[in-house]
């Protein structure tokens, strides 16, 4: 399975944008890039996903490098509720079973 | 909310005893997963199921077995619990093998093996 690399932790201030990087240099052509986050004492929740083009939804934006070897999750205006561990995951479109492999993620701290 | 219920939510047991964790879903999702989460390791896949009676091993399957006799239920069994299996266990489900299918997680089951 292709792996992802994320910084262990990041810190930002409330109401400022946050850019969470993810490297996936061994990504294959059939891998989609997914992001999940885990709030304290909860199960992970889906944030966003993409293949090649940048994606936006109500929670965040996903910027994907042209060579697809890296991506950035963008929180446009962080709130205290965005403090969580963020996981960048590659998901193979071809495989029949959905075996997501979570790394250790990035722990995001938001300062008031 | 995919209607995922894990039970029990908390359990304390002794080494050598059998333990079964249950994951129940109401969305008729085909795929179900069991993960464990430990400090410093993130989430690690134990077993998964791609249909009734169809299961396969994940990366940390030793000491665990699973069963899926109905679409809505996925059971994780520790035949003889050990202290190394103290962890938080998460169940997850997804609709099918599509790239857009998000994974829905339960709230977790905290297991302590003394």
Q: A87 pairs with which residues across the strands? A: A36
Three-state DSSP class for residue A96 = coil
Segment B1-22 mean pLDDT? 93
Taking a C-beta distance cutoff of 8 angstroms, is the pair B93, B38 a contact?
no
- Residue located via tokens 């430990």: B38
Distance from CA of A42 to the nearest CA of B (A): 5
DSSP secondary structure code for residue B54 in this structure: E
Token pair for residue B81? 């619990």
Distance from CA of A14 to the nearest CA of B (A): 26
Taking a C-beta distance cutoff of 8 angstroms, is the pair A62, A35 a contact?
yes
Beta strands in B62-108 (DSSP E): 65-70, 73-78, 87-94, 104-105
Reported as a pLDDT band with limits 50, 70 and 90, residue A104 is confident
Which of A36, A45, A97 is nearest residue B50 as measured by Cβ atoms?
A97
Beta strands in B10-98 (DSSP E): 10-13, 19-25, 31-38, 42-51, 54-57, 65-70, 73-78, 87-94
Segment B60-77 mean pLDDT? 97
Quick check: A95 and B97 CB within 8 A? yes
Taking a C-beta distance cutoff of 8 angstroms, is the pair A112, A80 a contact?
yes
Q: Is the pLDDT of residue A98 over 70?
A: no
Q: Is the pLDDT of residue B114 over 50?
A: yes
Q: Is the pLDDT of residue B99 over 60?
A: no
Quick check: A98 and B94 CB within 8 A? yes
Q: Which chain A residues are Cβ-neighbours of B33 within 8 angstroms?
A: 98, 100
């Amino acid at each position: 399975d292709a792996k992802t690399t994320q910084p262990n932790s990041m810190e930002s201030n409330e109401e400022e944008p946050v850019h969470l990087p993810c490297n996936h240099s061994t990504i294959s052509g059939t891998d989609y890039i997914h992001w999940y986050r885990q709030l304290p004492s909860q199960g992970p929740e889906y944030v966003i996903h993409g293949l090649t083009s940048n994606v936006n939804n109500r929670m965040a934006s996903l910027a994907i490098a042209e060579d697809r070897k890296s991506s950035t999750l963008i929180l446009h205006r962080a709130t205290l509720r965005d403090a969580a561990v963020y996981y960048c995951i590659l998901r193979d479109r071809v495989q029949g079973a959905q075996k997501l492999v979570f790394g250790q993620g990035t722990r995001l701290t938001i300062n008031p | 909310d995919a209607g995922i219920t894990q039970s029990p939510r908390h359990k304390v047991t002794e080494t050598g005893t059998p333990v079964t964790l249950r994951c129940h879903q109401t969305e008729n999702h085909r795929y179900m997963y069991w993960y464990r989460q430990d400090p410093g390791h993130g989430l690690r896949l134990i077993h998964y199921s791609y249909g009734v009676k169809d299961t396969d091993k994940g990366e940390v399957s030793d000491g665990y077995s699973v069963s899926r006799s109905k679409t809505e239920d996925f059971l994780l069994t520790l035949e003889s619990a050990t202290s190394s299996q103290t962890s938080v266990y998460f169940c997850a489900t997804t609709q099918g093998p599509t790239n857009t299918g998000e994974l829905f997680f339960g709230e977790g089951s905290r297991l302590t093996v003394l």
